[in-house]
Amino acid sequence: MSSEHAILPISVNDWSAFKGIELHDWQKKYVPAPDELIRQKVFERRPEQQFLLYGIHYQQHLVGGFSLSVTENNELWLGAIQIDKAYQSKGLASYVFAKVIEYLCSDPKFTGLSLDVHCNNLAALEFYQRQGLRICGMLERNGEQIWLMNNKREHWL
C-alpha cells in the first residue's frame, strides 16, 4: 500500500474528527457510533482486556476507525471497522485487515483473530470470508443474530 494510508492510535485530539465520520444509513445499525467507541475506550476499560482505538488515515485525513483488543485466549478481537462513506471503495478495509494480520503474525503470543458480524451484513460477511475468516458460531444480541468468525494465526503465516 502507498504512503497515502496510515493507521494510528486515536488520541483525544482526534475525537472531533472521529465523531464526524459519516456512514451510509444502512451501515449505521451494524457498527457503534464513534461516540460509543470513545465511551468504551475511556469509561469501560477493564484491566484484563486491552481495548485500543485506531484511526484510519487517508491522504493525511482521519476517515475511519476500528477497535482492537486482546481476549483472555490471546486472540486479537477486531471490532467496528468503519470508514466514512466518502472514502469507501478505496481499499481501506483491505489495508486495515492486512495491517491487523501483519500485527497478529508479528507476535507469537497471539493465537488468532476473531470478530463478529451481523448476519444481515452480507457485504462484511463476504469481505471477512475472502480475508480467511470462518464462521465458528452464532449468538443473539439485542434480538439480532450475529455470526462469530475467526481463524488461527497459523492460517496467515
Q: Mean pLDDT throughout 57-81? A: 92
Residue 86 and residue 141: Cα distance in Å, rounded? 29
- pTM for this predicted structure: 0.87
Residue 110 and residue 20: Cα distance in Å, rounded? 33
Q: What are phi and psi of 17, to 5 degrees?
A: -65, -40
- Torsion angle defined by CA atoms of residues 133, 157, 63 and 25, in that order, rounded to the nearest 10 degrees: 0
Q: Which H helix or E strand runs over 97? A: helix 92-106
Q: Mean pLDDT throughout 12-17? A: 88
- Which of 6-20, 44-58, 111-125 is predicted least confidently? 44-58
Q: How confident is the model at residue 2 (pLDDT cuts 50, 70, 90)?
A: low
Convert 28-95 into a string of H (helix), E (strand) and C (coil). CCCCCCHHHHHHHHHHCCECCECEEEEEEEECCEEEEEEEEEECCCCEEEEEEEEECHHHCCCCHHHH
Residue scoring higher pLDDT (76 or 45): 76
Q: Write out pLDDT tens, residues 77-128.
A: 998 899 999 999 999 999 999 999 999 999 999 999 999 999 999 999 999 9
- What is the reported pLDDT for 130? 96
- The one-letter amino acid code at 15 reads W
Report the side by side order of strands in the sheet with 112-118: 5-9, 51-58, 61-70, 75-83, 112-118, 144-152, 134-141
DSSP state of 133: -
Q: How confident is the model at residue 26 (pLDDT cuts 50, 70, 90)?
A: confident
In this structure, are strands 61-70 and 75-83 parallel, antiparallel, or unpaired? antiparallel
